[in-house]
Amino acid sequence: MLIILLSVGICIIACGVILAFLKRDIVTIALLLITGIVICIWGLPGVKSLDLSFLGVGAKVTKQVTEDQTAVVDALAPIQLSIQKLQDALANQEKFNKTITTSLNKLGANSAGEHQAIEQPNISSTSPAFAANNQYSVFVFFRSSRTTDSQALVRGLTAAGFQASAISTTFEEAPPIGPDGSTWIVPTDRGNKIAKEVESIATKLNLPNVNLGGAYPLSRGDVQVFLY
């Protein structure tokens, strides 16, 4: 915008100079020169407005650039307000979590028997265990009769950080390694590091007849779970 104003102003001044050499009407030449100078000044950085009262106009002109900037600020205002509301909501949730955690820990400390302190979750960060598990993929193959179990297992694996997905199959492409209703976990050499945790998740979900097999060179994933 500023470059355009400066260019226009210089062109107008040049026209006025040319007309002066040609000895044309002095009033026209004066108007061109004054207009060009005003536009050039208006196009200079840092000049936001011009008082034209010295020309008898009696008006103060403001750059369109300033108006555009104001419009942009006005447009961003609702977005900034929404962001602030979200930040306030997260802060309030953090305070609520802290209050509940403290209350539960006090209640547990006053009760009889063993009590494990509840750790307040940090909603803005990921635990090291979650980040470590996210490096591994687990494929869950299931018969249609085990759909519910497969969905529960994928949710449990995902909550622990694993990249998990379920695939429906009839197991016709390979001979079954377990009886109907059984759960088999087969890791690769790399997947051996997480096999016990996958087994623990399956056991906590009360999946039937959970078995952990030995390492096998699988073609997909670090661990495969078969729900027969």
Cα-Cα-Cα-Cα dihedral of 178, 179, 181, 187, to 10°?
A: 0
Q: What is the pLDDT of residues 98-116, one digit of tens each?
A: 776 666 666 655 555 544 5
166 has a pLDDT exceeding 50: yes
The pTM of the full predicted model, rounded to 2 decimals, is: 0.46
pLDDT of residue 1: 56
The winner for highest mean pLDDT among 52-61, 124-133, 158-167 is 158-167
Q: What is the pLDDT of residues 59-69, one digit of tens each?
A: 555 555 444 54
Residue linked to tokens 């004054």: 34
List phi, psi (to 5°) of 145: -70, -15
Q: What is the pLDDT of residues 30-44, one digit of tens each?
A: 777 777 777 766 566
List phi, psi (to 5°) of 71: -65, -40
Contact 182, 213 (CB under 8 A): no
For residue 53, give the amino acid letter.
Answer: S
